[in-house]
Structure 1
Amino acid sequence: MVREYKRKTDRGTFCREDMQAAVDDVINKEVSLRKAASEHNVNYKTLSRYVEMKIKTDIPENHSFGYQKTRQVFTEEVENELVDYLIAASKIFHGLTMEELRELAYELAEANKITMPDSWAMNKKAGIEWARGFVGRHGADISLRSPEATSLQRMSSFNKHNVNMFYDNLGEVMKKGFTPDNIWNIDETGVATVQAPTKQIAKKGERRVGAVVAQERGTLDDSLLWHQCFWEPYSSVFYIP
């Protein structure tokens, strides 16, 4: 299956309004196919096919000539709601991977009795091509990102009360007049304390994307664990005597 086909010629393309006018001239004004095609700048063989189609099937006046849009499993409204859900899940550190998106799409179609390809029902998830196409169609809003591993301790500690308390304490400490050589940065940058999450779907353009990690990798001593729970969320820089 060709994922992103790019036309190499303009063959078969035409203005729908011109084709409609040419068909009307041939049927109503009894203009020849070649003359109508020449006047409206359309291919006469394509014109003959549409003329025959309208005569045999009685095409309505509001029929849209030309190639129709490929049928999608979900409507644009449903897809927009799905995009909003993906963005909301990412903001609370529970973004969905491509695999989880495929499973969610199948469950959504199954719950709402939406017609889906047979492969979806067989595999209990949407196809990878559908998932890639979905992200591509909504590329202005979402993209596949590599989130930053965010522990549960950081999520629970990073709140307005703790942040205000930290800066209040930091202000009191700095008033004591410590020199720069007495101030140390002791965060654990470079020390892996949580497992690396896989790529997830998040809002496009978001500066930082996080993914909650329920279990720490390995064990930490009490001092480092306390530091991670309280000071890590603030990228702490504080005094050590």
Structure 2
Amino acid sequence: MPKKTPKIYKNYSEENLEKAVEAIRLGQMSYRKACDTFGVPKTTVLNRVNGDVVDNGDGIRAGRKTALPQVVENQIVEACIRAAEMGFGISKEQLILKVSRFCKSLNLNVFKNNIPSDDWWRGFHSRHPEISIRKPEPLSTMRSRMMNRVVVSNYFSDLLVLISDNNLTPDVIWNMDETGKQFEHRPTSVVARKGARSIPGRTGNSKENISILACVNAVGDVLPPMCIVKGKTPRCLESFSTLDSPAGTLWTYQERAWMCDILGQMWFSQVFLQNIGPKRPQLLILDSHSSHEVLGLLQEAVRENIIILAMPPHTSHHLQPLDKCVFGPFSRAYDKACTNLLTQHPDLVINKTTWPRVFSTAWIAAFTKDNIVNGFKATGIWPPNPSAIPESAFAPSLAYDTPQDTPSIPFPSSSDLPALPEESCTLVTEPIIPTSTPVSLEDSNSDLNLSLLADAAAIHPEVGADAPDIGIPLPDVLSLLTSLGNGNLVLKEEDPQPSAWDAEVESIFAIPPAESKKSKNVKSKSLTSHRLLTSEEIIESKRMKLAEKERKEKQRAERQMKVKKS
């Protein structure tokens, strides 16, 4: 590892350097006076004035030349950023291996054993401060696939139609969702000794979970919550201090403290309809959980003129206001309330007696008007704005887009190409690794020295009577040589462009496209789009499924009766 030294170079601004160079070129100052006035080293000014150091568009950097050209490094950085946004991030070790493959494929001997070292990584990182080592957040494959532009655009199209056709205002647009909290919370950060290896934090003795159902509207109003505890009889609620919970909380139970069909219908009739007021119609937006699609709930919603819209499955992390801006602050407020309670009362623990108290504190702190309104705004529901969903939200789904089959286009032969005018004629050769200075042609009216034509022949010796075919028609070659001889064209040296390396960078750092699978003649039961649950088609399909379920249960009961009789 090289020894780290303090920064002793470029202790000046680029603006002062430009002022010093300009003053010298205009004859306003001598070299010494300009360097002393603007605080720039004399050698740096000399290199700029004499043209020994030229800005090629990527900026001038101090130090020796990098192992890979700056253009190639920029492409690698863009590929890494693009892969991270799509959920296929490249780690430091993977980046070093990919750069090693890149060098081996192009026979570049710029690293020892063709493997970049840690010193190269540190230099690469310092040259590109726009990248850093980040730990990605978990994102399931289903969420990556479903959060695509087609699904979301169809959802917003129908949502905007519902809002405009029914003249809905923000006070009648609701969002409902569930979350869960355990007695064992996550302790918050505390002040402790610097460098301590482990800091204990008290938590509850049980991991028992309680489901919480919340509902809010676009103006920031909050309905009373419903808490579902684990139990089989109403007796399980007696040990909870329900009076400490928020006003109007509906307490109920389920065998596993989960949301179910019966509880969904109970919440709709006892909480939602009792607290939304008489204004109709109203819109309820929720996810595609089975407990939200009970036939009795949907039929009651139709009678009450309540429109229920189910979001596309696996998209709630971007499309649901509660998930976007409310449940996050609620979790942090819950952890803080539990930590404060256990710190102030060492003899207490988080249990059925104290949980309603901390739940109420966190509920009041998180379910504020600002959080709720910002949630509807960030998800584009109110005010209606599909562009509120950022472009980065769709990036993970790009890797699963099936490429379309495109017809192959034959490349035209040299005889089919039109004749090039003398003024724009250019001879270009692009080796994989530039070994000589490439040449470009530009218009000029000055006389061309005959030796220049000989230099052109030396640069491109393949142009001749006995040279192999290089893919350029002979008339074009003769036209080029004639133009050179007449002085209509001049040869100008320019810096090599690593455009020939683009394909190699793309092939190594690009994410492979998804394979197109042949569709089977099997009807899929998975949901792939949003649905208007109160539509006649959905309700009729629910009736048919319920009738089929009752028929099968009746047949099963009849079979069991026959077995008992026999």
TM-score range, shorter-chain basis? 0.3 to 0.5
Give the alignment's TM-score, normalised by structure 2.
0.22
Q: TM-score, normalization: structure 1?
A: 0.46
For CA contacts below 8 A with separation 6 or more, give which structure has more relative contact order.
Answer: 1
